[in-house]
Amino acid sequence: MLGIGIVAPILPLYAEQNLAASGIWIGLIFSGFGLSRTIASPLVGRASDVKGRKNFLIIGLIGYALTGLGYVIANNVALLTIIRFANGFTSAMVLPVSQAYIGDLTPKGKEGTYMSTFMISLNIGFGAGPFIGGWMFDEYSAAAAFYTMAALSAVALALVILFLPNLEDLKNNPNPELEKTKTIPTPKVKPSVRNAFKDRHVKGIMTYRVSVGLARNALVSFLPIFLTSNFAASATQVGIVLAIFLLVGAFFQYPMGIVSDRVNKTKLTLIGMGGAAAFLFIMPFTPTLEIMAVVVLIAGFFSVTADAPALALGTEAGRKHGMATVLSLYDTSVGIGMVGGPIISGFFVDNFGINSIFYLWSVVVIIALIICYIDLRGEKPTNFPEKTENEKSSKKEQMDKF
């Protein structure tokens, strides 16, 4: 994910400064990625529930490396958009499938903790990437960042091929360490997209994920331009601000995952959505780059406050409808936001000014919050795994001695 993080924040700057792209074109570049990912995610998710995870991860990482090289040769906006579109297909084979892999290993009652631990690695990669990419753009060139993405994808590919076991191998030859922590892969269920859609909790989290996709991708697409136009920020400074948003997620992901295993996940998700919407709304009023960084940091905290319990709810639903089937639907929901967010934002930027997108998406998140409340109400905190008979008898003996 470090390679993707390196490229994403410099693409709008590269498109605007090197290829003279308009707001609509920048929107299309990012929306193309979301469109292809939206199309591919549910298909790949269901297929990986049936065929296994590892091969899809390998194909996706090969695609990442090739598209990284493709960005280097993109000398016009149309070609850059096509390559970004192809990158979306490869993304559908990596993120939702890797999330499903972790979901398969997650014991009941620990959904928030395990998925949040996994998300830490993603957020560190995404968070460190913008700073590195911005520095490369300032000191060297965009091509240096693109080559770095390809190289890091190749390294990840080698690690997956050499060290990542197939889940079927874990089931046939269980790891004693996994047995101790009760994290043997969950039994397979018949994956069903239709049944998943009927689950109101799935629909509620999909609504949340759509709003996240809309707002977050609008920020990634146009926050660099907002910072350079309002504060004369360099690409390195842009990378630092984006890194703050993502790294605060990495820092708080694990503790928020633990919290989400102990409290009502719906309430925690709604609190995070409300806080993120509020700080998104006030971003255009920030007078300095330093204050903007603080606002972005707080928005990032509220974002992870919503993400951790939402992922936990997704893991719970995955056991019922197929892990990758459900998590790919959530990824598709983000993809819908990726498609609509940048294009709609580009239209608003060209016609109403860049400040308008912050007001727009904060209102959209509030509307999504209301819908999520309706769909998710009644959710109860996940109970911790029941104690074994030995644990119960041991506890009784201790009480008798007392």
DSSP annotation of 107 = P
Take residue 346 and report the two structure tokens written for it: 């580009």
Quick one: pLDDT at residue 167?
67
Quick one: pLDDT at residue 390?
46
Domain 2-378 has CATH 1.20.1250.20: yes
**Domain coordinates in residue numbering, the chain:** 2-378
**Which is nearest to 284 in space by CA: 344, 231, 244?**
231
Does residue 71 contact residue 48 with C-beta atoms inside 8 Å? no
* CA within 13 Å, CB half, 141: 6
Quick one: pLDDT at residue 1?
65
378: alpha, beta or left? (left if phi > 0; alpha if psi -120 to 50): left
CA distances in angstroms from 73 to 32, 69, 154, listed in the order given: 18, 7, 19
Instruction: For residues 243 and 135, give the distance between their C-alpha atoms in angstroms, rounded to a whole number.
Output: 12
Does residue 358 contact residue 124 with C-beta atoms inside 8 Å? no
Quick one: pLDDT at residue 396?
45
**Which is nearest to 115 in space by CA: 365, 379, 304?**
304
10-residue averages of pLDDT along the chain (402 residues)? 74 85 83 84 82 89 92 90 91 84 79 75 76 86 90 92 76 50 50 75 87 81 88 87 82 83 89 94 94 93 88 80 76 78 86 92 94 78 42 44 40
**Which is nearest to 71 in space by CA: 27, 19, 122, 135?**
19
Quick one: pLDDT at residue 298?
94
**Which is nearest to 302 in space by CA: 324, 323, 283, 328?**
283
Take residue 145 and report the two structure tokens written for it: 């960042």
How many CB atoms neighbour CB 169 within 10 A? 12
Instruction: For residues 214 and 276, give the distance between their C-alpha atoms in angstroms, rounded to a whole number.
Output: 13
DSSP annotation of 182 = T
Does residue 50 contact residue 191 with C-beta atoms inside 8 Å? yes
Quick one: pLDDT at residue 379?
54
Residue bearing tokens 């990596």: 94
- In the chain, what is the greatest distance between 2 CA atoms, to the nearest angstrom? 79
